[in-house]
Structures are given as C-alpha cells and as structure tokens.
C-alpha cells in the first residue's frame, strides 16, 4: 500500500486554476497501485501550465521526479514517442457539457468533456495505438455517461483489448478506470 501523495496545494493560491484531486484522481491512483509491479516511470503532459507546475510541486513534495510537458494531449511528442510508451495514463475531461466549453486552457479544461463527455477522449483515441509499445498499457478514467463499453469497442478497432480495471461510485457518478493493452 502506497501513501496518498501530498497534494493540498492543488486548487489553491497560485494553483486555483488546477483541478483539485477528487474521487476520480484517487480511483486512478488505486488502479495504478493495483498494477504497481507493472509500472516503472512517471511523466505527464497537460494543456494547463498551472496544472503542469502543480504536478512538479506535487512530485517534489512526494520525492518523485516528474517533468511535465505543456501540450494539447501529446501532439508535441509525436512521432518521436511512437511505439515507445509503456504506461499511458489519461484522466480526461469527461463531464458532459456543451461543446463550446471544450478546448479551454484553464481549470475548465479539467472537466469540460462536451457531447457525451467524450469530445477530448474521442480526439485522443486514434493516437493511443500509435504511442503504446508492444507491452504498453493505457489507463483511462471514465464515467457511465461516456459509455465505457462503447469505448472498449472503439479501441478494439485499433487493436487494443480493454477491460474495466476498477469501478467505484462517487456521489452521483459511476467512475471506472479502463485498462487497455495490445491484443
């Protein structure tokens, strides 16, 4: 069992435009802890510069080395990382919102998922199979409104087998972490 990371600075002061860790964050952490023996490195990207800096401070407070890249999804990392990623984590903006709320660079980028909460996810899915190494794993946080079973089917068309790794209710939300790997 790993200790909960120190992250009380998120969502406050300089980091008021950063999504404060909540049930979805902790569900993803629990799923990763479940697979800890398969995971070895940490890296991240974020569209929100404040979230990237907050990730750096969180890693420093928890004695972990992390170097975030500020980019929209992984656009600035392709094609350099094609077939090289062993672990890909995505806690996307999954809340169902009007489409015009999608695409911001502030805190709204952490939740505004647009139609079915899937606009950002659906844009990212074609990239996943290109990024993953042969043994690579992709972890995705979803809510029931995102239609996780449909996502598994969509990803199968790219040659990735998926399954729920962990599921939990958090208030009105039914959260799941889906895990994908090559078939």
Mind listing the pLDDT tens digit for each residue in 5-16?
A: 778 888 888 898
Q: Considering only CA atoms, which of 23, 66, 64, 53 is closest in space to residue 167?
A: 23
pLDDT value for 149:
97
pLDDT value for 39:
61
Domains in the chain, CATH or no CATH each: 23-42+75-182 (3.40.50.150)
Beta bridge partners of 161: 181
pLDDT value for 152:
98
pLDDT value for 40:
52
Structure tokens at 151: 């996502």
pLDDT value for 44:
83
Which parts of the chain have pLDDT scores under 70? 1, 36-42
Separation CA 120–CA 112 (nearest Å)? 9
Angle at which helix 148-156 crosses helix 119-131, to 10 degrees, equals 40
7-24 burial, b for 16+ CB within 10 Å, e for fewer? beebbeeebebbbbbeeb
Q: Considering only CA atoms, which of 91, 89, 109, 84 is closest in space to residue 35?
A: 89
At 91, is the secondary structure helix, strand, or coil?
A: coil
Q: Is the pTM higher than 0.85?
A: no
């Amino acid at each position: 069992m790993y200790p909960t990371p120190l992250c009380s600075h998120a969502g406050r002061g300089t980091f008021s435009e950063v999504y404060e860790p909540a049930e979805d964050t902790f569900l993803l952490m629990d799923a990763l802890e479940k697979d800890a023996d398969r995971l070895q490195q940490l890296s991240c990207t974020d569209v929100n510069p404040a979230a990237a800096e907050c990730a750096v401070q969180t890693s420093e407070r928890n004695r972990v080395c992390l170097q975030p890249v500020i980019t929209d999804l992984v656009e600035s990392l392709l094609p350099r990382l094609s077939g090289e990623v062993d672990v890909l984590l995505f806690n996307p903006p999954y809340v169902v919102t009007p489409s015009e709320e999608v695409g911001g660079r502030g805190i709204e980028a952490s939740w505004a998922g647009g139609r079915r909460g899937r606009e950002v996810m659906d844009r990212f899915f074609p990239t996943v199979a290109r990024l993953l190494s042969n043994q690579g794993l992709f972890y995705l946080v979803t809510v029931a409104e995102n239609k996780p079973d449909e996502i598994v089917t969509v990803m199968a068309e790219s040659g990735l087998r998926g399954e729920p790794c962990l599921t939990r209710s958090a208030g009105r939300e039914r959260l799941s972490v889906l895990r994908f790997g090559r078939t």
